[in-house]
């Protein structure tokens, strides 16, 4: 990050990560999910389970539970806010966009508050923390029974 808006993006990144880590949205086990997946980041020990309810090709609800670092929990919380009401295809597009953006493969702007997640690129070892929930979401959508991992 270099340029005039860098300090604003850094501050937005810090404040959103802290807010979502302290008060994660949609945290807890969903009663009757249609899709679930586990995710693990073996390097830092983050473990999440993602629950989604898909109705008529739309993500009607999402929740997650688990434990992890502030970045991992905040990213899962931000993901959950973003995908409720989206079509499955739009959610898959967001998964790709976030993964590519945080890994530096894409310079495309992330939608809404997700743009703040780009701050994690300054800490390459933490990118896997930020993408864990997104990997688990992909596994849930595709009903992949393997544990989603960042490795």
CATH number of 6-149: 3.90.1010.10
Chain segment 111-137, per-residue pLDDT in tens: 888 988 888 888 888 999 999 999 999
pLDDT at position 2 is 44
Alpha helices for the chain (secondary structure H): 6-22, 70-83, 88-102, 127-142
User: What single DSSP character describes residue 119?
Assistant: G
| HSE-CB of 34 using CA atoms within 13 angstroms | 12
Domain parsing of the chain, residue ranges:
6-149
pLDDT of residue 99 exceeding 90, the answer is yes
């Amino acid at each position: 990050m270099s340029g005039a808006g860098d300090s604003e993006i850094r501050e937005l990144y810090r404040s959103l990560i802290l807010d979502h880590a302290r008060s994660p949205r949609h945290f807890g086990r969903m009663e009757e999910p249609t899709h679930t997946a586990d995710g693990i980041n073996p390097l830092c020990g983050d473990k999440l389970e993602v629950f989604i309810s898909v109705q008529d090709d739309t993500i009607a609800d999402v929740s997650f539970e688990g434990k992890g670092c502030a970045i991992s929990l905040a990213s899962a919380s931000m993901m959950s806010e973003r995908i409720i009401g989206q079509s499955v295809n739009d959610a898959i597009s967001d998964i790709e966009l976030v993964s590519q953006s945080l890994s530096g493969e894409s310079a495309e702007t992330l939608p809404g508050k997700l743009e703040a997640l780009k701050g994690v690129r300054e800490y390459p070892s933490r990118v896997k923390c930020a993408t864990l929930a997104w990997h688990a979401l992909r596994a849930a959508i595709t009903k992949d029974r393997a544990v989603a991992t960042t490795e």
